[in-house]
Structures are given as structure tokens and as C-alpha cells.
């Protein structure tokens, strides 16, 4: 029998406003948000106009050019970020519940995300106080140093699949480096970002250092990308939108970081335990209902274990408990909204028409508990060909394709055979082979005998059309800095380059 958690403690029927220049304000309009678990209205949220987006940019510009934040010592900024992390921990239950109600993911997943977000702020608080720069040995009487300085005003556009965690990935390094920010959360999942604004307000962050701009991407997001007052833009989302952001950023050649899509392979060799590989495969694709840029959406299995692998994968997938994120026994929640639901269902139909074999799923679960929620059962396709759209294109849902390979070289060719290069994994008990294959995968995030483990200390980003640059780790901090060389002449005297006449 389904065990339901206690009724939501979080009040969503309240004002959800923009935060610009340290002040909360109503938007030019409002958006109605829907609870993905039942399809019912959740709340209304402020939507920014182009004018309000420009106001947020000016607030961030003034905060950087005239405010105290960039002038603080690294230790002072770090102390603030530590306090922010503690506040996230203090409010973790509320934030997790908000994220589940807004985005649909199971509460246990949301709680992990809250802990990761807090730890991301702690990581950069610690990192920014460590020695940086270089002292260069040049001929006397000069001394030369290389220093890193904040870029300036940073616009940050984040997706809906990990709302607060993506906010932390963007804000933590930017603030640690001394920048000011305009954060635009997804118009579908802005609630935890607005709640974060309230926490920052409570902590008395100087006005304009962070601005939370909710609203439509075509209005607010495009204004940020085009503005010549913005020095850097960081975007996480689809390849199509990422290319548009990059094009808009050309106006003033602002720095650009793009973390885009993926179609990540998980390569399974026959010497690896099938049951364990199946377990990882389920986690790789059905975690967060497949709404993960690095999801293991392509399974490449050696032919000698292919049949047994598929049989066990299908059996296990059918037992996954799909349901509302607030129910205690839910293992996979709904998709984020009706738009995404229709997109995934459309890809499932495409797969059928292309001739792929639907082994399980492809439909919506039935029952009163699902209401009009946006659910899809775990879906598995076999009998696929490399050129099929369901193999080549990112679906961003609980849909996986299983392919068969004979040789190591064939597996590598298939694994690299898409326009994406975000992530990939190899499963083999032969560590020499596993390492050889992983080195040949054209992907920025890779695993051997594992999947999805992510660390604030390690770079995140991909090859090919999976993006530009890296987030997290020391790389993430560096992308929010400019490099400057400083040359000092200790004994100035006439150069004598031109003869005195």
C-alpha cells in the first residue's frame, strides 16, 4: 500500500516576486505554475519585462562598479558564502519540498540536491582563499606578477531539472571571485531561486550583487545575452538555445560558458556482472525521470550478454515505482510539465515509426493517484540503428535505447557516433581495456564501472555540441575571472630607444 508523506509544509500560495537591486518587486505579468504530480495549479509567479531585465542589469553593473562586493577580501566573501551554505542546510527540508512540488522529482532526490547546493557554496568559499596567480622571473629591475580579477557583471541562465543546484553551480564561483550576477531560473521552476533570494536578503547581501530575474527566456534571457553591460553569460540548456545565446553574446564579445545537451553512452562488456550493470543502467537513465543532461540514454552491450542484459533490464524497469514525488515509495516522479511530456511521447512514436522495438513503457501509468500529472512509464527500445533519431537526438525523458556490439572498436565508434560529447561510461572487469576505451570516448565527463557520481571539485562540461568551457572545480572559478599581467619597473630610467637630438 502506498505510504504518503505528511501534507506539504511549504506555503506556495503567496507572492513570488523578482529580486532586483536588493528589493522585491512584482513582475510586469504573472505565470501560472502547475504541479507536475497532479496537473493542478500550484501558484503564480512574477514574470519580468524587458525593462525589468534591463533594470536588473543596471543594478548588477552599479554593484560591481561602485559597490563593496568586488572590493572585499577573498576571506570576507568566503565568510558570506559559508553563512549562505549554513542557511541552505537550515532550510533544506523546505527547499527540497518546494523543488519536488515545482519540478516533480522524488523528495529523496531533492534532498540530495539541497545538500549538494550547500556544499558547492562551501567548496568555492574554501577555494577562493587559496593562493592564486604567478610571480614571473623576468630580467631585473622589473618584477612581473599574473593575477586573476573578477570579470564583472555575469548573467546566468539555468534549466529546470536541478533548479537550486544549478543556481549554486553558477552563483558560487561567480560570487567567490567577486563578480555580480543576474540569475534567470527557468520559467517553469523558479521557486527555489526566489526562496534563495529571500535567504540572501536575510543575510544582507549588498544591493545588486545578486538579482533574481524570473520570466520568459525569449524576453528576460535574450535581454541578458544581448546587453553590452553584461561581461559574461553562462547558460545551461538545449543546444538550440545555447547557439542563440552565443550569437546574441557577440555584440560585445562577452565571455560565454555553455553546458548543453547530451546523448551519453554506457558501454557494457561481457566480463562485467550483468546484474550490477543493469542496476547502474537503471540509475543512469531513470534517475530524475531521465531529465538529466548526462543521462545514460544509450546502452551499448556486448553481444554475448546482450539478450540476458535486455531481459533483466526490462524486468527491473517494470518494477520501478512511478508516482508523485511526495509519496514515500516513489522511485521515479513525473516529467516537469506538459510540454516535456508531449515531447517525450512524440519521440516514443518516432521510435516506433523508425522500426525500433518497444520492449516496455512508452505509455502513461493509470490510476487515481496520477490525476492529470505528467507521467511516463520507464521506456526501453531495442532493435535500433545508429542513424535513428531516438539514437541521435536528446529526448530528455525516461527513454533508453539498447544497442549491440561485437568488438571493442565497434563499441567506440558507436559511442562516439553522435553530435554530443557530454558524458560516457565503460563497464568492464579488465581495467586495462576499460581505461583504453574511456580514453577514446569523446566526452568531458566519464566513468569506469560507475555512473552519475558528480563532485564539486571536478570539472563539468562536454566535447562537440555539448558545450563550451567547464563548470565546477578550479576550472569553474577560473571561468569567472580575467587574467592580468602586472609589470613593475623597480628602477625607472630613460629608455634611450630614440636618440636625443
Catalytic (active-site) positions: 259, 293
Collapsing DSSP to helix, strand or coil, 305 comes out as: helix
User: What whole-number distance in Å separates Cα of residue 161 and Cα of residue 478?
Assistant: 25
User: What whole-number distance in Å separates Cα of residue 297 and Cα of residue 400?
Assistant: 5
Which of 431, 471, 76 lies closest to 256 in space, CA to CA? 471
DSSP bridge partners of 205 = none
**H/E/C letters for each residue in 307-352?**
HHHHHHHHHHHHCCCECCCCECCCCECCCCCHHHHHHHHHHHHHHH
Which of 240, 231, 208, 235 lies closest to 221 in space, CA to CA? 235
Neighbour tally for 214: CB within 10 Å: 27
* H or E segment to which residue 129 belongs: none
DSSP code string of 56-93:
HHHHHHHHHHTSSGGGS-HHHHHHHHHHHHHHHHHTHH
Grid look-up 538555445 returns: 241
Who's near 428: CB < 8 A, 6+ residues apart?
269, 271, 272, 434, 437, 448, 449
User: What whole-number distance in Å separates Cα of residue 226 and Cα of residue 328?
Assistant: 45
Query: Rounded to the nearest 5°, which phi and psi values hold at 31?
Result: -115, 140
Upstream peptide bond of 415 is cis (omega within 30 degrees of 0): no
Decide: 424 and 462 in contact? Cβ < 8 Å.
Answer: no
Who's near 137: CB < 8 A, 6+ residues apart?
none
Judging by DSSP bridges, how do beta strands 357-360 and 379-382 pair with one another? antiparallel
DSSP bridge partners of 156 = 183, 234
Decide: 259 and 467 in contact? Cβ < 8 Å.
Answer: yes
Give, to the nearest 10 degrees, the angle between helix 163-177 and helix 191-202. Answer: 40
User: What whole-number distance in Å separates Cα of residue 365 and Cα of residue 317?
Assistant: 13
Amino acid at each position: 500500500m502506498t505510504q504518503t508523506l505528511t501534507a506539504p509544509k511549504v506555503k506556495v500560495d503567496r507572492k513570488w516576486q523578482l529580486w532586483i537591486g536588493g528589493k522585491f518587486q512584482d513582475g510586469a505579468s504573472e505565470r501560472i505554475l502547475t504541479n507536475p504530480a497532479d496537473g493542478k495549479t500550484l501558484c503564480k509567479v512574477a514574470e519580468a519585462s524587458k525593462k525589468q531585465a534591463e533594470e536588473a542589469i543596471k543594478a548588477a553593473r552599479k554593484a560591481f562598479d561602485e559597490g563593496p562586493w568586488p572590493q572585499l577580501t577573498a576571506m570576507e566573501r568566503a565568510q558570506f558564502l559559508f553563512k549562505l551554505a549554513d542557511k541552505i542546510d537550515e532550510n533544506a527540508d523546505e527547499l527540497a519540498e518546494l523543488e519536488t512540488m515545482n519540478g516533480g522529482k522524488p523528495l529523496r532526490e531533492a534532498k540530495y540536491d539541497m545538500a549538494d547546493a550547500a556544499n558547492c557554496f562551501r567548496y568555492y568559499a574554501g577555494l577562493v582563499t587559496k593562493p592564486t596567480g604567478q610571480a614571473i622571473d623576468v630580467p631585473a629591475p622589473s618584477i612581473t606578477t599574473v593575477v586573476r580579477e573578477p570579470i564583472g557583471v555575469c548573467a546566468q541562465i539555468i534549466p529546470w531539472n536541478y533548479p537550486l543546484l544549478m543556481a549554486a553551480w553558477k552563483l558560487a564561483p561567480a560570487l567567490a571571485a567577486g563578480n555580480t550576477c543576474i540569475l534567470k531560473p527557468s520559467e517553469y521552476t523558479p521557486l527555489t531561486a526566489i526562496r534563495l533570494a529571500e535567504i540572501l536578503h536575510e543575510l544582507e547581501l549588498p544591493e545588486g550583487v545578486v538579482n533574481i530575474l524570473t520570466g520568459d527566456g525569449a524576453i528576460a534571457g535574450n535581454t541578458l545575452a544581448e546587453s553590452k553591460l553584461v561581461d559574461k553569460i553562462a547558460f545551461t540548456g538545449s543546444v538550440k538555445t545555447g547557439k542563440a545565446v552565443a550569437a546574441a553574446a557577440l555584440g560585445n564579445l562577452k565571455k560565454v560558458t555553455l553546458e548543453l545537451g547530451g546523448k551519453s553512452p554506457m558501454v557494457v562488456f561481457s566480463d562485467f556482472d550483468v546484474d550490477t550493470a543493469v542496476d547502474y543502467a537503471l540509475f543512469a537513465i531513470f534517475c530524475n525521470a531521465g531529465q538529466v543532461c548526462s543521462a545514460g540514454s544509450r546502452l551499448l552491450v556486448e553481444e554475448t550478454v546482450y539478450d540476458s542484459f535486455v531481459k533483466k533490464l526490462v524486468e527491473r524497469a517494470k518494477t520501478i515505482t512511478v508516482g508523485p514525488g511526495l509519496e514515500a515509495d516513489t522511485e521515479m516522479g513525473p516529467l516537469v510539465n506538459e510540454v516535456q511530456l508531449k515531447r517525450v511521447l512524440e519521440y516514443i512514436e518516432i521510435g516506433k515509426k523508425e522500426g525500433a522495438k518497444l520492449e516496455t513503457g512508452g505509455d502513461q501509468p493509470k490510476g487515481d493517484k496520477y490525476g492529470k500529472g505528467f507521467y511516463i512509464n520507464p521506456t526501453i527500445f531495442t532493435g535500433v540503428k545508429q542513424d535513428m533519431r531516438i539514437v541521435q537526438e536528446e529526448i530528455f525523458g525516461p527513454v533508453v535505447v539498447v544497442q549491440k556490439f561485437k568488438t571493442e572498436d565497434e563499441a567506440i565508434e558507436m559511442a562516439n557516433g553522435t553530435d554530443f560529447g557530454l558524458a560516457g561510461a565503460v563497464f568492464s572487469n579488465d581495467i586495462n581495456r576499460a581505461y583504453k576505451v574511456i580514453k577514446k570516448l569523446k566526452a568531458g565527463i566519464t566513468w569506469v564501472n560507475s555512473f552519475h557520481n558528480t563532485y564539486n571539485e571536478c570539472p563539468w562540461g562536454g566535447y562537440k555540441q555539448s558545450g563550451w568551457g567547464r563548470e565546477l572545480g578550479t576550472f569553474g572559478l577560473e571561468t569567472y575571472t580575467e587574467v592580468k599581467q602586472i609589470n613593475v619597473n623597480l628602477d625607472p630610467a630613460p629608455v634611450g630607444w630614440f636618440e636625443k637630438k
